[in-house]
Chain A
Amino acid sequence: MLSKSQARLFFLSATGGFSLVFLGLTADTIRQTPARTHQEAMTPAVVRGKEIFDRNNCMGCHTILGEGAYYAPELTKVVDRRGEGWIRLFLKDPAAMFPNERKMVQYDFTDAQIDDLVAFFGWIGRIDTNGFPPAPDLAPPPPPPVAGPRGVSVGTAPDIFDRCLCRVPLGGRHRRLHRPGARRRGRPSTPTRRSTPGSPTRRP
């Protein structure tokens, strides 16, 4: 059993010590932030993109840098994962890309706003995050990104999206493409109905 003075010493030294550690780590983080985020590359478009992201409460569903609502996809490395062309197309009409899936709000972004958002995601993706987001331990390695027409790299969709895949050919007119006999809501399609990655599915 501690005496009263020992208890006081224990309380003061532990509280003070750990407060100092906390403050030190915080100061160290703040010191490293400009270099790790490549602050010099933060153009006005990046800042505008961030404002669009905040003003529409995108983190009400998405996460970015691991922070958000854990409902819609993580967006830290979205440019690496999908490619800029894919993101531009998706933001034009989110529901057309993945019908029958969770719906992203149609924000009716202008082309300039989409440019800003892409710039913002590109800047976020180059932040040194110590390897965040980590690669999943158990999931099979993703197929390599598919090169679309005009040399635009089109990232492949995660497996869950392949189940009702609705590929939109880049470079062509943006069309809502529904596969014949698309699965009904909530019922997973059989593997035989899954389209091969990279082959655009067209309306017959």
Chain B
Amino acid sequence: MKYRSQRIAWLFFATCMLLLSLQIVYGFIMGFARIGFDLHSGSRSTSRAPRTRTCSSYGCSPASLGAAYYILPEEADRELWSPKLAVVQWASLVVVGVTAIVGFHLNWWEGRKFLEIPRPLDFLVVANVLMFVGNIGMTVWNGRRYTTTALVLLAGLVSAAAVPARRWSGSTTRRSTPTSAGGSCTCGSRGVWELIMGAILSYLLIDSRASTGR
């Protein structure tokens, strides 16, 4: 670890591990419901959203955000633009996640697939994303060098931030939901995540080897 501000990644890593354990618990609840051991009649329908959300949204995103906070300072050869903002962003992510999961158990939904979290939380997510994009963007922009790894990772994360934009699409008809879901899943999961994973992999293969001198 070359820079102090890289340590922010620990917060995200710890969050991720916590979410992973939650995901396993919800997975068991659903599995038991499937073979006939419902905790109560709604245990399956309630558990599905927390499980997929702890897996994808709150699981993958803290992982990639933490990875970005770790990788980008090293790539840009400078401290993170604002470590305090990163902590605030982490806290708001936790607030969204905890509120959403507790809300699910109180039957508080938006109710579209993968867009389960209710509308008021969406605003917090937007603030969260802007804080994150601003922070990493300024880190790269003010960096002492621009590497391909950093630019690809930045492009991937900024595009990933745009993927949930379909959340704001009008939804009076259910017909628009599969279309927008198809678009955002195709572009988001299959396109954008390739950039993020590619950048992280190139960091692991190229940069970390170079920095450890092996």
Contacts and interface: CB of A to CB of B under 8 A. Distances in A.
A60 B48 contact: yes
A64 B48 contact: no
A53 B35 CA distance: 26
Interface in A49-84: 50, 53-61, 64-69, 71
A65 B111 contact: no
A42 B177 contact: no
B38 A103 contact: yes
B172 interface: yes
A124 B174 contact: yes
Contacts of A103: 38, 41
B113 A39 contact: no
Interface residues of B, number: 31
A55 B109 contact: yes
A57 B109 contact: yes
A106 B172 contact: no
B175 interface: yes
B179 A67 contact: no
Query: By DSSP majority rule, is chain A's interface helix, strand, loop, or mixed?
Result: mixed
A47 interface: yes
A55 to B, nearest CB: 6
A33 B171 CA distance: 13
Interface in B99-149: 104, 107, 109-113, 116
Contact of A55 (B42, B111, B113): B111
Interface string A21-62: 010001001100100110100100001001001111111110
A116 to B, nearest CB: 14
Contacts of A68: 113
Nearest to A132: B178
A37 B110 contact: no
A146 interface: no
Contacts of A42: 172-173
Interface of A: 22, 26, 29-30, 33, 36-37, 39, 42, 47, 50, 53-61, 64-69, 71, 95, 102-106, 124, 127, 185-186
Interface of B: 33-36, 38, 41-42, 44-46, 48-49, 104, 107, 109-113, 116, 171-179, 181, 183
Report the 6 A-B pairs with minimum CB-CB distance, sorted nearest first: A54-B111, A60-B45, A103-B41, A105-B42, A57-B109, A61-B45
